[in-house]
Amino acid sequence: MAYSLLQQFASLVTSVETLDATDYPIAALIFISDTSDRALANAARFLPQLSSVQITFILFGPNADQNKLTQFSSNFISWRNLSQTQPDNWDSVLYNAYGCSGSSSTVTIPPFTTTSLPSTTTTTTMSTVTGSTTPMPYMPCQSWISFSYDDSNTLSNDNFKTQMSFISTFIGSINYPNRLRIQGAYTDVASC
């Protein structure tokens, strides 16, 4: 199956239409590896229905041409080197890509200690597990976030796995993932 931005947009329109009336911002992260004329054919017809959606293209691999996508969005994240686990500037752009306003902050999770209490029928034992202090980004974001992955035959299996691993990792880092959609043009993985 060849990449089709038209199909990606059609899936996104269907998802947006099924949302109850919402005041939450809607953000769509669309992975795109093919910007040929064939891959982009007729996609503009869905733009009026996506006017409330902040579209961010993740230019996935060396063949995605940002200049061919400017009619659809002005938000781009480049991921040319697919041997990297994430796009080059991901840490600095993720908050905006998720459609969040303001800025993110970093919070520190305090250490924790777990202690087992003594038992009356056995020898008294005490075990302690101490957690480490870990800074984690806190994103007070109320957006509805859509990840549209590239499930075309344009990608090699390794690049598809890289893309899916990245999506999985960053969905796991979202503080409150109650408004998510993960879908390809041809397959639907999950919706929350």
What's the CATH number where 29 sits?
3.40.50
Q: Considering the domain boundaries, does residue 121 fall inside one? A: no
Indicate the range of 26-40, 60-74, 116-130 predicted with least confidence. Answer: 116-130
Q: Considering the domain boundaries, does residue 113 fall inside one? A: no
| 122-166 pLDDT, tens digit each | 444 443 444 444 455 555 567 777 788 888 887 788 888 888 888
pLDDT at 26 over 70: yes
Instruction: Judge contact between 32 and 69, C-beta under 8 A.
Output: yes
Q: Which of 25-29, 33-37, 90-94, 188-192 has the highest mean pLDDT?
A: 33-37
Distance of CA 172 to the CA centre of its chain: 10
State residue 18's pLDDT score.
76
Residue among 60, 9, 58 at smallest CA distance from 183: 9
Q: Considering the domain boundaries, does residue 117 fall inside one? A: no
Q: What average pLDDT score do residues 82-105 get? A: 77
- Domain housing 14: 5-106+137-191
pLDDT at 35 over 90: yes
State residue 38's pLDDT score.
95
Q: Considering the domain boundaries, does residue 124 fall inside one? A: no
Q: Considering the domain boundaries, does residue 119 fall inside one? A: no
- Residues β-bridged to residue 53: 26
In the 8-state DSSP scheme, what is residue 8?
Answer: H
Q: Considering the domain boundaries, does residue 87 fall inside one? A: yes
Q: Considering the domain boundaries, does residue 125 fall inside one? A: no
Instruction: Return mean pLDDT, the chain.
Output: 75
Residue 177 backbone dihedrals phi, psi, to 5 degrees: -85, 55
Q: Considering the domain boundaries, does residue 126 fall inside one? A: no
pTM, whole model, 2 decimals?
Answer: 0.73
Q: Where are the alpha helices (DSSP H) in the chain?
A: 5-18, 37-40, 90-97, 157-172
Indicate the range of 37-46, 99-108, 153-162 predicted with least confidence. Answer: 99-108
pLDDT confidence band for 180 (50 / 70 / 90): low
- Residue 101 vs residue 108, higher pLDDT: 101
Domain total in the chain: 1
Indicate the range of 57-71, 104-118, 133-147, 151-165 predicted with least confidence. Answer: 104-118
Q: Are strands 128-130 and 113-115 parallel, antiparallel or unpaired?
A: antiparallel
